Amino acid sequence: MKPTDTSRREFIAGALMAGAALAGCSEENNPFESSAGEMVKPSGEKVKLLSVNGEVIEVDKAFLKPVPHMPPVSNDEARIGIKGKKFVMVIDLSRCKSLKKCQEACDHVHHVHPGQNWIKVYPMQDAEHTAPYWEPTTCMHCDEPPCVKVCPVDATFKRQDGIVLIDSDRCIGCRFCMAACPYSTRVFNWSEPELPKEIADQPYSCETSVPQKKGTVGKCDFCADMTRQGELPHCVSACPNGVFFFGDMIEDSVTNGSETFRFSELVRDKAGYRLMEDLGTKPSVYYLPPVNRNFPFKKDDEKEEGEKS
């Protein structure tokens, strides 16, 4: 059977109406058909599996097929983003004690150059008589991103799901974005990144931001690869104090892994705010003020010269 497009459509329509859906699918459209066509001989070896409804079932080993990895996303797809999503982060300042587990996890996953950080934890004190607190910062993934505005080659871009990413295969290293970002969130690969060979040889992906390349800019990517898989960014899951909440503004929910809130309610009830609102950058990262804190503020070990809080 070599159906033309029209005949196939008619055929499928007819098949659906007849209630015999699967039988009518043409070969390339049916992912089950090719394996169904192959005659797999049972090996006799059984494996115990947990089914989706919680029952333990036995399956012959020969019928098991490895699940392929998520296919790498093309550069075009990575630039568009995930449809119908608007990612948002809420950082609860009352829970942070500058453990920097977020930073560690982020540095590790993205192979950030030693000494540089995509996440920074600032000791802040807004005025002389106000309370000090810890303020972790990621990329703010602004809705009016100054970095994207100034990029001459569209190497840093804003996706429809709100994430701002960098195409390190296109970046020319002019560093205008670094000058433009008021949050000092961007870092530069001043030298050849020290990466294990198998990482360095990978093709660059905007969503994983790996491998970083010499002479280009890097920054927090909201772990776009994780969000595509429906998982939390690494900083969120690494934080033992649940400081970071991540989620989707359209679903109106954010979670830190163990607690889930309605985003709108959380930000309303706890008087959430964004950094440097007056600049008009419209960040996607919200902060909950450091009230009723879980930990007292203790100046950390990091003895940095010229440290000003």
List of residues contacting another protein (CB under 8 A):
103, 115-117, 120-123, 137, 146, 149-155, 170-176, 178-180, 182-184, 186-192, 214-217, 276, 279, 302, 304-309
Closer CB to another protein, residue 15 or residue 180? 180
Q: Is residue 293 within 8 Å of 94, Cβ to Cβ?
A: yes
| Cβ 196 to another protein shortest distance, Å | 19
Closer CB to another protein, residue 126 or residue 251? 126
Backbone angle region of 282, left / alpha / beta, with phi > 0 → left and psi within -120 to 50 → alpha: left
Closer CB to another protein, residue 86 or residue 149? 149
Give the phi and the psi of residue 113 in degrees, each rounded to 5: -55, 135
| Cβ 167 to another protein shortest distance, Å | 9
| Cβ 23 to another protein shortest distance, Å | 49
Q: How far apart are CA 152 and CA 172, in angstroms?
A: 9
Closer CB to another protein, residue 25 or residue 180? 180
| Cβ 101 to another protein shortest distance, Å | 14
- Give DSSP secondary structure letters for 54-115: S-EEEEEGGG--PPPPPPPPPHHHHHH--TT--EEEEEEGGG-----HHHHHHHHHHTPPTT
| Cβ 216 to another protein shortest distance, Å | 6
| Cβ 78 to another protein shortest distance, Å | 15
Closer CB to another protein, residue 183 or residue 244? 183
Closer CB to another protein, residue 15 or residue 178? 178
- Give DSSP secondary structure letters for 187-251: EE--S-----HHHHTSPPBTTTTBS--TTSEE---TTHHHHHTT---HHHHH-TT--EEEEETTT
